[in-house]
Every structure is written in structure tokens, then in C-alpha cells.
Amino acid sequence: MFYFVLGLYIVILLTFVFLYAFIIYHLVKYSINASLNRILLPFFIIISTLLLFSNILLFFSIDWNNLFSQFFIN
């Protein structure tokens, strides 16, 4: 059961990384104001990366075996 949840989580993470790259590409390529882009791009990259790493740390800090044993009686 843990591998099923881990697989779903990996799909969600890959989707986030794809959207993250998509947004960065469009910020760089289609920016109207270059001086504003110099402020927004690093801000977006730092905040998104911190959110991604905090999400990964929180996911792996959960005791999945205990959680599954409470919901599914073996």
C-alpha cells in the first residue's frame, strides 16, 4: 500500500516540477518588463523550491505503516 501512495506522490511531484518549469519558461520568454522579471524570477524559484523540499520532507516524515494499520486491519 505504501508503494501505491508513493507512486501517486511521485506523479504529483513530477506534475509540480513540470508546471514549475513551464512557469519559469514563460516568465523568461514572454516577460513584458525585464526589470520586473529580475525580481520575480528569483523570488518564484526560491519560494517554489522551498515549498517542494518542505513537501518532500513532510511526506517522508509521516509514519505510513502506522497510518495504514489504523485504516486497514491486517
Instruction: Note down pLDDT in tens along the chain; length 74 residues.
Output: 788 889 999 999 999 999 999 999 998 888 888 888 888 899 999 999 999 999 999 999 988 888 888 877 65
CB 57 within 8 A of CB 7: no
CB 44 within 8 A of CB 23: yes
CA–CA dist 42, 61 (Å, integer) = 28
**Total-model pTM:** 0.78
SS3 content of the chain, % helix, strand, coil (to 5): 85, 0, 15
Domain count, the chain: 1
CA–CA dist 17, 59 (Å, integer) = 16
> Identity (one letter) of the amino acid at 59?
F
- What domain range is 10 assigned to? 2-73
